[in-house]
Amino acid sequence: MVRIFITGGTFDKEYNLLNGELYFKETHMDELLSKGRNQVPVEITTLMLKDSLDMTQLDRELIARWCDECEEDKIVVTHGTDTMTETARVLAGKVKNKTIVLTGAMIPIKFGSSDGLFNIGSAMAFAQALPNGVYIAMNGKYFDYDKVRKNRTTGIFEAV
Amino acid sequence: MVRIFITGGTFDKEYNLLNGELYFKETHMDELLSKGRNQVPVEITTLMLKDSLDMTQLDRELIARWCDECEEDKIVVTHGTDTMTETARVLAGKVKNKTIVLTGAMIPIKFGSSDGLFNIGSAMAFAQALPNGVYIAMNGKYFDYDKVRKNRTTGIFEAV
Amino acid sequence: MVRIFITGGTFDKEYNLLNGELYFKETHMDELLSKGRNQVPVEITTLMLKDSLDMTQLDRELIARWCDECEEDKIVVTHGTDTMTETARVLAGKVKNKTIVLTGAMIPIKFGSSDGLFNIGSAMAFAQALPNGVYIAMNGKYFDYDKVRKNRTTGIFEAV
Amino acid sequence: MVRIFITGGTFDKEYNLLNGELYFKETHMDELLSKGRNQVPVEITTLMLKDSLDMTQLDRELIARWCDECEEDKIVVTHGTDTMTETARVLAGKVKNKTIVLTGAMIPIKFGSSDGLFNIGSAMAFAQALPNGVYIAMNGKYFDYDKVRKNRTTGIFEAV
């Protein structure tokens, strides 16, 4: 069983065709996993739907508490990419003995994004196969939570 | 660096719009990894493009030899699902000290299949994160090569 | 109000992921028109789901009878491309004072085909805008029923 | 031969994955017509790439001049939906003896929009089949330029 916590980010953004703006309505994780023909038992919980730039310390503590208190020890967290490493650091400080993988997307999955589906495929796999710890999984790669940063010019996560 | 060997299967089938039949022309792995915004360095080699029901013992030995002799020790093999476990058994007998992950698709990726992209995302991750051994990665799960079979009624791989 | 008669053809074929064959289950016209955000009132009737090579004279007379007896005088008929011109000829002989547009697709719409959606967009428009008569609408063009043939080498309809 | 003039609108908007905003880079008409397997000879000219709310009287006169002076008498104009009727009125005042069809999309075609493809299919058909005049083609319907408005609550064009 893999626990999936939804927190928002580009991953779940939708296009409002009346005003041309992006907004959150609900997560599309379930639909995405069906398309991928996923057979791993999952429990999906939407904790919030936020741009990661709007995330507060309180939000991060809430995510940490859910990760800590849930029964599962294999966890995937969807998250905006801009502050993904900050949340990863909070989780690493507060949650032990679990494998937590943060992932996201550069293009909303509702836009037919392929990076969301590719990333969730790899995040689910890393959550099952990596030893306990907190990781970021993007672009097919995984990084220890404290050895990665997002390059804002290219939009790509890279090792530091 | 992950080495990817292409052998065929539903994954790379195309639709011939003149006669309505499915056929092989070339692999679409490169295009698929670009869509997923993959950043893992890969080397892709097409060994054959075959229905897995047409695969011979000689074909399987060829795949094993390439897996054994290539420099990389993290390997993904795309393969038709019908005889994937047979090839996995040959690989396990002949290749040691490497992580080999066989994967495929139930729907051709050219049909906009999402299971191909989800599977390749998870196979790339399993190849990086699992210890040496031969595995089958389908539907988000992974299986040891000798503890899995394809259920022909549902089309789903399951543990035995 | 446009009346849409479904008769089969590549348009509505689906992929059977258990045996890799194409088959008919049901029409996807409703879903397709929703994706296109269609607002033209339509009534959709599935008369049959057949390869056009399997269509008999009796089938063609059935289609003609429905076209003739329905209340609407703007009609779209989806049809396999191989014998589309034969059915068009039967319709032209038996139905007067209506605009009937036959259309189809070279790629099943369930494969993410774009030609099905493009063709149905144009067929709906031709049905509303052309004078009474029987027409074939493919690849953005329209042809009088008796001045067109399918080029079997290229798969494209051309004027004769 | 159908002449296609590109002026912008949601149709050709793209998603900037670095800042999450929508912007114009180039038209995707060529790609869209290829997907639809279009065989109608076309000449595509990009006059501007603008939100229709930013369009000026000078812009509209430019579009009118191109429509008037080009050789073709079947013309499709892609345009933002918000002021599509205003441009249509300018065109109707200045261009005679041609069939001009304005169309657009509620969802960018780069987001896998189906309404863009459906609309261009119908606009191309209306341009070929309707008598001289200026029309708006949206959602499968066509309207005389002076008998339509966009309902801002629903985003749908309706007869007035």
Can you tell me the distance from the alpha carbon of B105 to that of B112, in angstroms, rounded to the nearest whole number? 12
Q: Beta partners for D8?
A: D50
User: What is the nearest CA distance from A98 to chain D, expressed in angstroms?
Assistant: 32
Q: How high is the mean pLDDT of chain B?
A: 95
- Point out the residue among B39, B125, B140 whose CB comes nearest to the CB of A38: B140
According to the model, what pLDDT value does residue C130 have? 98
Can you tell me the distance from the alpha carbon of C28 to that of C13, in angstroms, rounded to the nearest whole number? 9
**Residue A116's closest chain B neighbor by CA?**
B36
Query: Which of C118, C136, C144, C150 to probe the D interface (max D CBs under 10 A)?
Result: C118
Using a CB-CB distance cutoff of 8 angstroms, which residues of chain C are in contact with residue B108? 15
CA C160 vs. chain centroid, Å, equals: 20
Residues 6+ apart with CB under 8 A from D58: none
Beta carbons of C37 and D120 less than 8 Å apart: no
Percent of chain B residues topping a pLDDT of 70? 100
Beta carbons of D17 and A155 less than 8 Å apart: yes
Residue A30 has pLDDT above 80, yes or no: yes
According to the model, what pLDDT value does residue B77 have? 98
Q: What is the DSSP string of D66-112?
A: HHHHSS-SEEEEE--STTHHHHHHHHHHH--SSEEEEE--SS-GGGT
Q: What is the tens place of the pLDDT at every residue in A40-49?
A: 999 999 999 9
Q: What is the tens place of the pLDDT at every residue in B119-141?
A: 999 999 999 999 999 999 999 99
According to the model, what pLDDT value does residue C2 have? 98
Contact status of A24 with chain D (Cβ, < 8 Å): no
Beta carbons of D156 and C114 less than 8 Å apart: no
Contact status of A10 with chain B (Cβ, < 8 Å): no
Q: What would the mean pLDDT of D11-34 be, rounded to a whole number? A: 92
Q: Which residues of chain C have pLDDT under 70?
A: none
**Residue D111's closest chain A neighbor by CA?**
A111
Maximum CA extent, chain C: 46
Residue B39 has pLDDT above 90, yes or no: yes
Q: How high is the mean pLDDT of chain A?
A: 95
According to the model, what pLDDT value does residue C78 have? 98
According to the model, what pLDDT value does residue D112 have? 76
Contact status of A119 with chain B (Cβ, < 8 Å): yes
Q: What is the tens place of the pLDDT at every residue in D79-125?
A: 999 999 999 999 999 999 999 999 999 999 888 778 999 999 999 99
**Residue D118's closest chain C neighbor by CA?**
C121
Q: What is the tens place of the pLDDT at every residue in B46-91?
A: 999 999 999 999 999 999 999 999 999 999 999 999 999 999 999 9
Chains that touch D (3 or more CB pairs under 8 A): A, C
Chains that touch B (3 or more CB pairs under 8 A): A, C
Between strands C13-16 and B13-15, the pairing is unpaired
Between strands C13-16 and C2-8, the pairing is unpaired
Beta carbons of D119 and C36 less than 8 Å apart: yes
Residue D21 has pLDDT above 80, yes or no: yes
**Residue D9's closest chain A neighbor by CA?**
A20
Can you tell me the distance from the alpha carbon of D69 to that of B106, in angstroms, rounded to the nearest whole number? 54
* Token pair for A4: 């999936």
Contact status of C110 with chain D (Cβ, < 8 Å): no
Contact status of D121 with chain C (Cβ, < 8 Å): yes
Percent of chain C residues topping a pLDDT of 90? 91
Core vs surface per residue A12-45: b (16+ CB within 10 A) or e: bbbbebeebebeeeebbbeebbebbbbebebeee
Q: How high is the mean pLDDT of chain D?
A: 95
CB C136, CB C99: distance < 8 Å: no
Contact status of A140 with chain D (Cβ, < 8 Å): no
Between strands D74-78 and D2-8, the pairing is parallel
Can you tell me the distance from the alpha carbon of B38 to that of A80, in angstroms, rounded to the nearest whole number? 18
Can you tell me the distance from the alpha carbon of D130 to that of C131, in angstroms, rounded to the nearest whole number? 10
Beta carbons of C110 and B110 less than 8 Å apart: no
Residue A125 has pLDDT above 90, yes or no: yes
Domains (range + CATH), chain C: 2-159 (3.40.50.1170)
Angle between helices D84-94 and D57-69 in degrees, nearest 10: 50
Q: Beta partners for B42?
A: B2
Beta carbons of A20 and D15 less than 8 Å apart: no
